[in-house]
Structure 1
Amino acid sequence: MTATTDLLAPATGDAAPPTHRRVPIWLAVLAASLPMFMATLDNLVMTSALPVIRADLDASIGQLQWFLNAYTLAFATLMLSAAGLGDRWGRRRVFIVGITVFALASIASALSNTAGMLIAARAVQGVGAAAIMPLSLTLLAAAVPVAKRALAIGVWGGVSGLGVALGPVIGGAVVDGVSWQAIFWINVPVAVVAVPLAMYALGESRGRRQGLDFPGVALAGAGVFLGVWAIVHGNDDGWTSATVLGTLAVAALALCAFVIREMRTDSPVMPMRMFRSRSFSVANVIGLMFSLGMFGSVFLLSQYLQIVMGYTPLQAGLRTLPWTAAPMIVAPIAGILAPRVGLRSLLVTGLTLQATSLVWMAFVFEAGTSYPAMVPALAMAGVGMGLTFAPSATAVLADMPEEDHATASSVNSTIREVGIALGVAILTAVFLAAGGTLTPTGYADALRPALLVGAASVTVALVAALLMPGRRRA
């Protein structure tokens, strides 16, 4: 069965069909994409503010990582459960609850006056985002005619790229003009608009009604959290220390137990049967390794512009735009091209550009380098990301029946968020192991090996893309 046929397939089983009034397609796209933009924005909105937050809250490098990873790990751990709750209670209802939780946690983040409080608030933000990201794509797919779905997903990917693009810029502008706390306050008016818009423009729908696999969620969450914790503490405690090795061992056992349980339980949170689809499996390998390499690099490079080059947060955010803004433009174009050239061609091209750009950056970014010399590599990375976002999202749903769209999307989003958390932890660990310090010379010298590790990760994703089924159409 081709991907086009699969996406045309009606919901089966006990899944309730979507119910909603007729609304313009652009309004449905906006209603699904605006909350997703808010959640995506918060993946990177802190990056430009990290040096300021570090000084204000007296945070360590490890705590800087947890400001991001508390969000991404909570996001990743609970996304699958959120999709299951959407199937049972209504996807639009859970989507709106997620927006509300996210907004309240944003207020708590803005009011934090210690590093610990901010980390905790960011984790709650991740809980809200877990209900937003996978359900936004599912609700969009249900609201848009099949003939327009590839284009709609391309726009959805472009909005995701917009969140990536504007994260450092908005963060920098707000920190320079107001304070770092204001980067969280801006989520509140977005949520106020997003909730009634979703209620009006998106129909309610449900999927398969099955029990929630709480032990599976706990095992997956424990495995990922302990693995990231061990990586973050590896340099300080020693990679051969009993604490780090023991934690890594427990993490591996938890993840193995998770896979075994998912294969045996009647209500898996991550159905292993989905991985029988080569398109789905390849897309998830790409999602993990691409996110690890690229977003781990973004974490380090956003601080490079301030620490090494001396730019203000806003100046640094603006100078990331050749990289971060390109997906906003390229992703919708990729959505249009996908039915014509196929997903594999776009993915291979995009990942090749990204891996090449990271190697280029590794040898260009050093103390004394001028910003114009960096622009071609930054732009290449951005175009590559834009060619990856929409095709990978389309490949995830290509062989899935309609009632599995929410689960398939949440599995992919979970794996990508795990990749982001691992990327920040692993590349920072490489940076610190190379003698990296928060000084111009110490930062620049240790950045190269970290970027090369990021390039290696994206290369693994490139090899996986070559295995994408041929003639795969959007």
Structure 2
Amino acid sequence: MRERGPLAGRYPAVATMVALALIPYLVLSAALQPVMPIISQQLHMSTEEINLAGGLANAGYALGTVLSVQLAQHLPQRRMLIVYATILVIGSVLAAAANGPALFITGHVLQGLCTSLLLIAAVPPLVTGFPLAKVRPTAVIMNLSIFGGVALGPLIGGIQAEANGWRPLFWVIAGIAAVALVLVVLTFQDVPPAAPDATRSPVAVVLAASGCVAAFFGATQLLTRKSLDASTLAPLTAGVALIGILLVQQDRAKRPLLTVRPMTSTLPVAGVLAAMSAAAASVSAIALIGVLLQDRFSPLRLGLVFLPEFAGAVITALVFGAVFATRGLHYFALTGMASLSAGIALVAASVPPSTTVALIGTTLIGIGVGASVTPALFIAGFSLRNIALQRVFAIVELLRAVSAFMITPILLYIATTVGSRPSDGLRTTLWICLGISVGGTLLAIALYALGGVRPPAPALQRWFGGEPAWDSPPLLTKVRRGAHRPEPPTETNAPTAF
């Protein structure tokens, strides 16, 4: 008999564990901006070092999506979950107790890396490892945990900055990570590797690691140096190129680590495009709005301006649960993109925005993000067999992280260099955010139209039985001949129940 913890197989405990494992870094990623000057002063960190900490942590998050899939193939998945949660606690303690730049950067990078390791290792089994009736609440919990945590970040960071401190926040985050570790142990259920005979993919991991580190390092240099030179452009362009090479290499590999080829049909591509554009536009817009208002409000009042974003995330999580198993899932994602675009346009049209405009704008952005990214992720996931869900999540999260965390520094750089006044540059970059959001929406709609897709309802029973929840036609079916639907993945491994 395999080892089991006392809470193994109990859905509430497992769902709580997954939520607490994701919350620490996601909250910090949005809460750091107001406390960064305090951290820099108390730990004697230069602007370059504090930007490097954030950039490398985001690179770790992006890398972890690929690394988690690789490790799951050859190592016992639940035992690795304990390892990931333990390292997350260690990283959180290192960051909270840091007395200098080295410990803080190391701890924060471990937080980013382990969060994505946990996300890819824990969320797919939570979706597929319990009865069908649990899929809907899982989708709601996942949506609220990810985007609710991010939406609360500015307020939490503002409260901490108002108190002129940062360690209490980091110690609370470490405490949450410790509770998540305890729940990982209590819900332990030993399961074997997903595919011990699968081909190892060191090339994919090396490409992901080098690409993410180079791209995010180059992006953070824009914030530090505020100049376009070889030291900035070389790593940035090289990193983006390496991530592109990773996708091409995996598409052509005979036994790939990532399911790139099966995701090149209409619905997965549309879902990925929507998730990428929504993430890039929303994260950048929130950062730009923060810069717009930071001179007018105290950190606490600025955090309160962003509080409606959390309300929007809660509303969309509940509505998401209602439309999750219907054809309304597709229209819900479209509505989210429209709401995101409306929120950005409202703020961009009234730079500098009044408090009322900022509150309405952040509400619409919160609704937009919650109603677009997670639905788009499931649109991609339902297009393949459920055994591929872990790999689908990995690809979507990799591209979403690269889009969100790499584009933001670039737009912040543009905001400081365009126009004769700071407000001119900020207005320009907000319009760029709007262009990203609207462009992603129109591209996704065009793919549906050119693929001849009438938005279907997911056949969840069929999906749980091992087949795609719907048929996704080849890309551009209506405008090309001889199109063939990509073959679904042939691997027999499936995420195992918790």
Compute the TM-score of the two structures, normalised by the length of structure 2.
Answer: 0.81
Bigger relative CO (Cα 8 Å, ≥ 6 apart): 1
Does residue 318 (structure 1) correspond to residue 304 (structure 2)? The answer is: yes
Which of 68, 71, 89 in structure 2 is aligned with 1:82? 68
Three-state SS of the structure 2 residue aligned to 1:165 is helix
Alignment-derived partner of residue 354 in structure 2: 370
Does residue 268 (structure 1) correspond to residue 251 (structure 2)? The answer is: no
One-letter code aligned to 2:437: V
One-letter code aligned to 1:281: V
Counterpart CA distance in 1 for 2:79 and 2:8 is: 19
Alignment-derived partner of residue 472 in structure 1: 456
One-letter code aligned to 1:348: L
| Offset, 1:187 | 1.9
Instruction: Report the CA distance shift for 1:424/1:127 in structure 2 as closer, same or farther (over 3 A).
Output: same
Kept in 2: contact 1:353–1:383 (CA 8 A) = yes
Which of 427, 435, 449 in structure 1 is aligned with 2:428? 449
Three-state SS of the structure 1 residue aligned to 2:383 is coil
Instruction: Report the CA distance shift for 1:254/1:25 in structure 2 as closer, same or farther (over 3 A).
Output: closer
Alignment-derived partner of residue 427 in structure 1: 411
Alignment-derived partner of residue 3 in structure 1: none
Alignment-derived partner of residue 300 in structure 1: 288
**83-92 or 313-322: which moved more?**
83-92
Kept in 2: contact 1:219–1:255 (CA 8 A) = yes
Would you say how many aligned residue pairs link Structure 1 and Structure 2?
448
| Offset, 1:320 | 0.6
| Offset, 1:33 | 1.8
One-letter code aligned to 1:208: A
Higher helix share: 1
Counterpart CA distance in 1 for 2:419 and 2:98 is: 31
Three-state SS of the structure 2 residue aligned to 1:325 is helix
Instruction: Report the CA distance shift for 1:258/1:370 in structure 2 as closer, same or farther (over 3 A).
Output: closer
Alignment-derived partner of residue 496 in structure 2: none
Counterpart CA distance in 1 for 2:284 and 2:416 is: 13
| Offset, 1:35 | 1.0
Where does 1:11-410 land on structure 2 (aligned, <5 Å)? 23-57=9-43, 63-115=49-101, 117-177=103-163, 179-201=165-187, 203-205=189-191, 206-209=193-196, 210-233=198-221, 236=225, 238-239=227-228, 241-251=229-239, 253-305=241-293, 307-311=294-298, 313-366=299-352, 369-410=353-394
Counterpart CA distance in 2 for 1:393 and 1:237 is: 34
Instruction: Report the CA distance shift for 1:199/1:242 in structure 2 as closer, same or farther (over 3 A).
Output: closer
Q: Structure 1 regions of 5+ residues with no counterpart?
A: 1-15, 437-441
Kept in 2: contact 1:31–1:197 (CA 8 A) = yes
Counterpart CA distance in 2 for 1:341 and 1:202 is: 36
Three-state SS of the structure 1 residue aligned to 2:331 is helix
**34-43 or 62-71: which moved more?**
62-71
One-letter code aligned to 1:455: L
Alignment-derived partner of residue 6 in structure 1: none
Kept in 1: contact 2:8–2:189 (CA 8 A) = no
Kept in 2: contact 1:355–1:458 (CA 8 A) = yes
**122-131 or 21-30: which moved more?**
21-30
Deviations 1:3-40 (A, max 9, x none): xxxxxxxxxxxxx9x99977553333222222122232
Counterpart CA distance in 2 for 1:54 and 1:449 is: 29
Counterpart CA distance in 2 for 1:249 and 1:163 is: 31
| Offset, 1:248 | 4.8
Q: Structure 2 regions of 5+ residues with no counterpart?
A: 459-498
Instruction: Report the CA distance shift for 1:60/1:424 in structure 2 as closer, same or farther (over 3 A).
Output: farther
Counterpart CA distance in 2 for 1:75 and 1:27 is: 25
| Offset, 1:64 | 4.9
Counterpart CA distance in 2 for 1:68 and 1:360 is: 29
Identical columns (%): 18
Task: Give the aligned CA root-mean-square deviation in angstroms.
Answer: 2.9
Instruction: Report the CA distance shift for 1:423/1:111 in structure 2 as closer, same or farther (over 3 A).
Output: same
Counterpart CA distance in 2 for 1:355 and 1:116 is: 40
Three-state SS of the structure 2 residue aligned to 1:179 is coil
Three-state SS of the structure 2 residue aligned to 1:339 is coil
Kept in 1: contact 2:208–2:242 (CA 8 A) = yes
Kept in 2: contact 1:78–1:217 (CA 8 A) = no
One-letter code aligned to 2:357: A
Counterpart CA distance in 1 for 2:287 and 2:51 is: 9
Alignment-derived partner of residue 472 in structure 2: none
Compute the TM-score of the two structures, normalised by the length of structure 1.
Answer: 0.85
Counterpart CA distance in 2 for 1:188 and 1:450 is: 35
Alignment-derived partner of residue 9 in structure 1: none
Alignment-derived partner of residue 458 in structure 1: 437
Deviations 1:408-446 (A, max 9, x none): 11221111111122122221121122269xxxxx65443
Kept in 1: contact 2:24–2:174 (CA 8 A) = no
Counterpart CA distance in 1 for 2:442 and 2:46 is: 36
Deviations 1:131-171 (A, max 9, x none): 11122311211343123313321222112222112212222
Counterpart CA distance in 2 for 1:62 and 1:455 is: 29
